[in-house]
Amino acid sequence: MKEETRRKIVTLTIGALSIFLFISLWDLYALNVNSPYLPRPQQTFATLISMLIHNERDFSGLLISQHISASLVRVFYGFGLAAIIAIPIGLLSGWSWYIETATSTIVEIIRPIPPFAWIPFAIYFFKDPMNSIFIVFIGAFFPILLSTVVSVKSIDPFIIDAAKTLGAGRFNLFRKVIIPASTLGIMTGLRIGLGVGWMCVVAAELVGVKGGGLGLYIILMSSVGRFENVFAGMILIGALGFLMVMSMTYIERRLSKWAGTL
Amino acid sequence: MKNEGPQRSLGGFDLSQRRKVWTLIAVTVAVIVVGGLVVAFHAGLFAPSPKAATVRVGWLTGDLHQLAYFVAKNRTVGGGKSFFEKYNLNLTDAAPGGYINGPTMMDAFAAGKVDIGLLGSTPAITKHLNAQVNTTIVGQCNEIGSALITKHPISNLNDLKGKTIATPGPGTIQYFLLLRLAEKEGVGIGNFTLIQLAPGDMRVAMEAGRIDAFIAWEPYCADAVVNNVGVIYKNSSDIWPNHLCCIVAVHKTFAVNNPDIVINFLKAHIEATSWINKAKASGLGSADYNLLIDIAVNFTGRSPAVIERALGNINYKFDVDDRFMGCFIDFTYKLIQYGIVAPNRIEALGYRDVYEFANKYVSMSYLTEAKRT
């Protein structure tokens, strides 16, 4: 218990120091460059605090709270959809050689295509809000899928053999062994997928979205040269992504305890 | 047999030592990377590329407002030698195919990639004030020349509530004019879904039902009308009579170091603009008019019928007169009012007020000299 507390303190201290170091380097570089295209951290944080406290309305008529909630909703749906589709496919692909063979080629062809490249397709085939959700979905889908496949394939064969010896049928084996044993790998994939989903939100909001979004906010402010606001928007995306990934890590830890009891 | 892993069997001490080593490696790598960046910066690796021997000119893709640039390049117009050649100018396009919009070109100015640019007045004002892009305005290309096109006829902007409107991008003059129209008609801009599209794609997007309206520069408005894809709700001259539109901007350092080049560029620009107006006045069937249409067709990729209609919606003008300055000042006030220009930027840049900003940002001397000689 004492060791755990000590580790937490060390983790927090190192985390705080690395943030401090990062901000110091940013400030140093911004001072050196002396360009409005790279505002100093104090200007950026002042803008960030002001826009959050006053819930500022930008020239497109939208409040910052509307931008935040719109992006959250997009990430939530895009990521959720990716998880719902990728996990079952990944479980089956990892479990069955035939399914993996059938899916792996197409997955490896589509996976390297950057989410930006899907924008014209999304504009043409989907209406708002599905067009932007689709871009987040594409970004989150493959990390989840691949982690799931790998986690199933890396299950210790002894466990599977033991379950078979004890009389487990295919369905029970899948439900009671494969799924629980691959949970941690799936969670890792979800965590990575969520991070990529946030990365895609700016691209997603380029397709033209109703109700704003933080990506749209960044584009708006960048177009008119208000780079303090651009950086404030970037920090907001980073902070929200970080909070969501941390929540995921927390769930992952809980699940790891549960998986460990299996 | 379950994978406890050899790491765990190493015991707490070894693991902790290993972590320390990795932390040390990570910190060392971070220091090397940051140090490298700082050295690279000082060595000029990230500095704007050195100025080319030729003049790099920026223009907007398919923007008929900037026809004078293509006329000045045309040898037939100049009787075997283009206007630019006549004034010994060696020009190159800063971006082959042009820039997608004015804000993007202003970023290129900031990066030192453009010497002279033809772009909308609002991005030139906005990015100079908000981001201190070091440019100066030396001439005009045109007044008016944009329109709001709707898929179906509407009686007022309320009819477009909840609908999708495409613009060439926030920060462009067309976006600004849309804000002005919404203000005039008492409709909050937040009632529309505004998307950014290249003007060349707007007609197709409207045909496909992806957008309900668009505001763009010519000839893309005429393109939609001539092809029965959309109808004009308002010409930009109805939104803001005689409004200022595209201007000639120059990187300030380039202008200071190369005043003769700027003056010669303006001389060619003046001759080209005057030739356009004469050719327009000479009317259908005259050789100059046909040549004008040919140049515009080649540059925009639109049909002669579209170009002819579009030309009727543009006033080509090179001069910086009282009307220009009055509109420039009004634009600046509106940009501040709409929150596009950040508060206190005029004062922060050392200008006493908007009038002083206008008088200093617009450099009359180059044009005066170009007109004199």
Whether residue A145 is predicted with pLDDT greater than 80 in this model: the reply is yes
A124 confidence band (pLDDT: 50, 70, 90): confident
Q: Which of A4-8, B20-24, B252-256 has the lowest mean pLDDT?
A: B20-24
Question: How confident is the model over A97-121, as pLDDT tens digits?
Answer: 899 898 888 998 998 898 888 887 8
Question: How confident is the model over B356-373, as pLDDT tens digits?
Answer: 999 999 999 999 999 987
Instruction: State chain B's mean pLDDT as an integer.
Output: 90
pLDDT at residue B235, as a whole number? 96
Average pLDDT over residues B182-189: 95
Average pLDDT over residues B258-272: 96
Pick from B239, B271, B289: which residue ends a domain?
B239
Q: Domain count for chain B, please give it.
A: 3
Question: How confident is the model over B274-295, as pLDDT tens digits?
Answer: 999 999 999 888 999 999 999 9
Is B150 a member of any domain? yes
pLDDT at residue B207, as a whole number? 92
Is B95 a member of any domain? yes
Domain residues for the domain of B193 are: 146-239
% of chain B surpassing 90 pLDDT: 79
Say yes or no: B130 and B166 in one domain: no
Q: CB distance from A62 to chain B under 8 Å?
A: yes
Say yes or no: B91 and B168 in one domain: no
Average pLDDT over residues A201-205: 81
pLDDT at residue B280, as a whole number? 95
Cβ pair B103:A223 closer than 8 A: yes
Question: How confident is the model over B322-342, as pLDDT tens digits?
Answer: 999 999 999 999 999 999 998
Is B1 a member of any domain? no
ipTM surpassing 0.90, yes or no? no
pLDDT at residue B297, as a whole number? 96
Instruction: Choose among B1, B38, B188: nearest Cβ to A61.
Output: B188
3-state secondary structure chain B: CCCCHHHHHCHHHHHHHHHHHHHHHHHHHHHHHHHHHHHHHHCCCCCCCCCCCCEEEECECCCHHHHHHHHHHCCCCCCCCCHHHHCCCCEEECCCCCECCHHHHHHHHHCCCCCEEEEEHHHHHHHHHHHCCCEEEEEECEECCEEEEECCCCCCHHHHCCCEEEECCCCCHHHHHHHHHHHHCCCCHHHCEEEECCHHHHHHHHHCCCCCEEEEECCHHHHHHHCCCCEEEEEHHHHCCCCECEEEEEEHHHHHHCHHHHHHHHHHHHHHHHHHHHHHHHCCCCHHHHHHHHHHHHHHCCCHHHHHHHHCCCEECCCCCHHHHHHHHHHHHHHHHCCCCCCCHHHHCCCCCHHHHHHHHECCHHHHHHHHC
Say yes or no: B63 and B34 in one domain: no
Say yes or no: B231 and B262 in one domain: no
Measured CB to CB, residues of chain B less than 8 Å from chain A are: 1-3, 23, 30, 34, 37-38, 41, 103, 106, 110, 126-127, 129-133, 164, 166, 169-172, 179, 188-191, 193-197, 205, 208, 210, 338-342
Cβ pair B130:A210 closer than 8 A: no
Residue from A31, A221, A224 whose CB has the most chain B CBs within 10 Å, to mutate = A224
Say yes or no: B151 and B275 in one domain: no
Whether residue A247 is predicted with pLDDT greater than 80 in this model: the reply is yes
Pick from B223, B239, B255: which residue ends a domain?
B239
pLDDT at residue B15, as a whole number? 60
Residue from B128, B173, B193, B214 whose CB has the most chain A CBs within 10 Å, to mutate = B193
Whether residue A173 is predicted with pLDDT greater than 60 in this model: the reply is yes
Question: How confident is the model over A42-83, as pLDDT tens digits?
Answer: 999 999 999 999 999 999 889 999 999 999 999 999 999 999
Cβ pair B342:A227 closer than 8 A: no
Whether residue B9 is predicted with pLDDT greater than 50 in this model: the reply is no
pLDDT at residue B281, as a whole number? 94
Question: How confident is the model over B80-89, as pLDDT tens digits?
Answer: 999 999 999 9
B12 confidence band (pLDDT: 50, 70, 90): very low
> What is the SS3 assignment for A4?
helix
Say yes or no: B251 and B158 in one domain: no
Say yes or no: B169 and B104 in one domain: no
B51 confidence band (pLDDT: 50, 70, 90): very low
Say yes or no: B165 and B305 in one domain: no
Question: How confident is the model over A234-245, as pLDDT tens digits?
Answer: 999 999 988 988
Whether residue B11 is predicted with pLDDT greater than 60 in this model: the reply is no
Say yes or no: B76 and B117 in one domain: yes
A1 confidence band (pLDDT: 50, 70, 90): low
What's the CATH number where B179 sits? 3.40.190.10
Q: Which of B10-14, B48-52, B150-154 has the lowest mean pLDDT?
A: B48-52
Say yes or no: B153 and B139 in one domain: no
Whether residue B268 is predicted with pLDDT greater than 60 in this model: the reply is yes
Say yes or no: B205 and B157 in one domain: yes
pLDDT at residue B38, as a whole number? 62
Is B48 a member of any domain? no
Pick from B209, B239, B269: which residue ends a domain?
B239
Question: How confident is the model over B187-243, as pLDDT tens digits?
Answer: 999 899 888 888 999 999 999 888 999 999 999 999 999 999 999 999 999 999 999
pLDDT at residue B6, as a whole number? 44
Chain B nearest-CA distance from A176, in A, is: 18
Dist. CA B270–CA A190, nearest whole Å: 62
Contact residues, A window 116-135, toward B, CB-based 8 Å cutoff: 123-124, 128
Chain B nearest-CA distance from A221, in A, is: 8
Nearest CA in chain A to B27: A18
Say yes or no: B281 and B138 in one domain: yes
Average pLDDT over residues B247-255: 97
Average pLDDT over residues B25-53: 62
Is B125 a member of any domain? yes
Is B315 a member of any domain? yes
Q: CB distance from A97 to chain B under 8 Å?
A: no
Cβ pair A29:B37 closer than 8 A: yes
